Chain A
Amino acid sequence: MAKEPQKGWAAVGKATKALSQQDQTVRAEADRDREQTQRGFVPLADVRPRPHGDSRQVDAHHVLDLAESVAALGLLEPLVVDRRLHLLAGAHRWAAVRLLAIQDPGDRAIAWGSLAGIADLKELQDKTLSEMIDRVRTLAPIAEPALVPVRIVEFDADADADRALSIEVAENEKRRDYTKQEVTALAERLKKAGFRFARGKPKAGERALGPALAVIIGKSERTVRRLIDGEPHIRTDDLISDTAPLEGILKRLKAILTSLQAAAHKPAKRQLKDVLAHAAKLETSIQALEDQPQPKPKRKAR
């Protein structure tokens, strides 16, 4: 005669099967992605643009920052391409590498200029842009024929535009979490390549380390600084993320609203304290947001 299963245990079988099925699904996805993805190196010239055109403009300033760090460190993240080498993710990195492959400084300046929407380099009045053109000219080019690291996803973007888009989105969302050690090691490599931490503008011939590091890691310069100065166990994602301040602000506002509504019904000192506490956190979130680098002004195409 079978005993009745103990409370709790009766539900174990069903729950196990349900969770286990999800385990299998997750695993099948991971297996599929892994089997369909190869890594390798291909000639830069073989990489082709997205079949359906670029959905976003590349940011010329970002491309320049990337080019400087690629010149020093190489391309750390492979470009993601489909089986016919159409670009799926990495437009800015691709533009940076193409820039570096241009051997003649003058030609390179013109190429970057057209990325930046500058019609005529000779007519340039803007000092900031002139300095950027100088940085473009002084980039150390990569030897031709250039090879780039790629991750090839085995499908045809022409035939499956949805999958192409979802890969692009997923790649952009993937936030690599750096440890203090890794960031410091990257900083050292950049220093060896002539980058310097500088208050204000770097001297002629030097490149600014803070922005270069921030570009590689994908966080604000302030966050990178805090990481380097901070405790060894901190990782970048422990610090404020790029979107967290906005979400934090929304949360604080909601909390203040709730507290005010509660206070309206039950006025008490405690309610007020809650509101003040939320307001203080709101201030911190706003401050963090203000500390983030502002987007660089784009030069309008004539």
Chain B
Amino acid sequence: MSAIIIAVAGRKGGVGKTTIACGLASIFLHRKRSVLVVDLDPQSNAAFALGVDPAAPGTAAFLTGGATPQRAPSGIQVLPGGPGLTDAKVQRLHPEDLADALAKIPIDVVICDCPPGIEYLERLGLTASTVALVIADAHPFAALGAGRVLEDLQDIRDKSRRGPKRWALVMSRLDTRRSADRRMTDNVSDAFPGVHRLEVHQDVSLANATSDQVLIMDAAPQSRGVQDLTRIADWAVEAASSRSKA
């Protein structure tokens, strides 16, 4: 299987990007793939969730000075995020610099956890990706953020720039007890017609895994969260290997 690079983006904070990114990492590890998680967030939460020192040299150093990934106890490789990502040097990078740097690393699956709100960091992740997951929960704020990311992706495609060939919107934290969540599918298909939709339901095991710094496949392999993420992992693999743009 050739390298697949998944960008997990969404612009809005708190919709579940890091949780989903770490969950996917766990699933691919369970499938015996080599996995690298690139934490593009100055908050460095993905590094924390995966049991790696969030302040260790990470993505910023990787991009500007050739640092190498940390190895989590599970075997997942991690490039932590951290405040270094807001450095002027990183802001001045070309959007394709992450893509170029990753091309030199032999790894099966790369997952880029993009930060909320910081467009130039998100762009590094999207440009490097072969498939992109745009995460949104049921609040219109999340839809606004997702919409901007989707517009950017379309812009990248229209201008034939480097970027993912396929993307999907992930409706996250779905809890059908909430009326907004029940209507989310309709709202999303109206707002973003033609965009492929995936789902992750509200599942406390997913959140517990990241806070306990354990992998979801170790903590709750039978959970609904894992079922949802498994479908997403399968979609990502299929989309990455497809030729056509959807």
Residues of A bordering B, CB below 8 Å: 2-3, 5-6, 8-9, 11-13, 15-17, 19-20, 23-24, 26-27, 30, 34, 176, 179
Contact = CB atoms under 8 A, between A and B. Distances in A.
A65 to B, nearest CB: 23
Contact of A12 (B140, B151, B152, B155): B140
A3 B183 CA distance: 11
| Chain B residues touching A, majority SS | helix
B5 to A, nearest CB: 21
B186 A16 contact: no
B148 A176 contact: no
Given A11-B140, A15-B144, A30-B120, A176 B88 contact: yes
B92 A26 contact: no
Interface string B184-209: 00110011000000000000000000
A26 B119 contact: yes
Contacts of B147: 12-13, 15-17, 20
Given A5-B190, A9-B190, A20 B151 contact: yes
Interface in B120-155: 120, 123, 140, 143-144, 147-148, 151-152, 155
Given A5-B190, A16-B143, A17-B147, 13 more contacts: A6-B186, A6-B187, A8-B140, A12-B143, A12-B144, A12-B187, A16-B147, A19-B144, A20-B148, A23-B151, A24-B151, A24-B155, A34-B94
B16 to A, nearest CB: 19
A70 to B, nearest CB: 20
B102 interface: no
Nearest to A15: B144
Contacts of A26: 119
Q: Point out which of A2, A11, A12, A24 has the most chain B C-beta atoms below 10 A from its C-beta.
A: A12
Nearest to A7: B140
Contacts of B120: 30
A19 B180 CA distance: 24
Contacts of A8: 140
Interface string B81-122: 001000010001010000000000000000000000001100
A15 B83 CA distance: 30
B34 to A, nearest CB: 32
Nearest to A20: B151
A16 B148 contact: yes
Given A12-B147, A34-B92, A176-B88, A20 B152 contact: yes
B162 to A, nearest CB: 13
A9 B191 CA distance: 8
Nearest to A23: B148
Contacts of B183: 6
B122 to A, nearest CB: 10
Nearest to B123: A27
A161 to B, nearest CB: 25
Given A20-B151, A20-B152, A3 B186 contact: yes
A73 B148 CA distance: 44
Given A8-B140, A12-B144, A17-B151, A23 B119 contact: yes
Nearest to A151: B92
Contacts of B180: 6
A2 B187 CA distance: 11
Nearest to B84: A179
A168 B40 CA distance: 32
Give 6 closest A-B pairs by Cβ, nearest first. A16-B147, A20-B151, A8-B140, A9-B187, A12-B143, A20-B148
A27 B148 contact: no
B140 A9 contact: yes
A23 B152 contact: yes
A13 B94 CA distance: 30
20 contacts: A2-B190, A5-B187, A5-B190, A6-B180, A6-B186, A6-B187, A8-B140, A9-B187, A11-B140, A12-B140, A12-B143, A12-B187, A12-B191, A13-B147, A16-B148, A17-B147, A17-B151, A23-B152, A27-B119, A30-B120
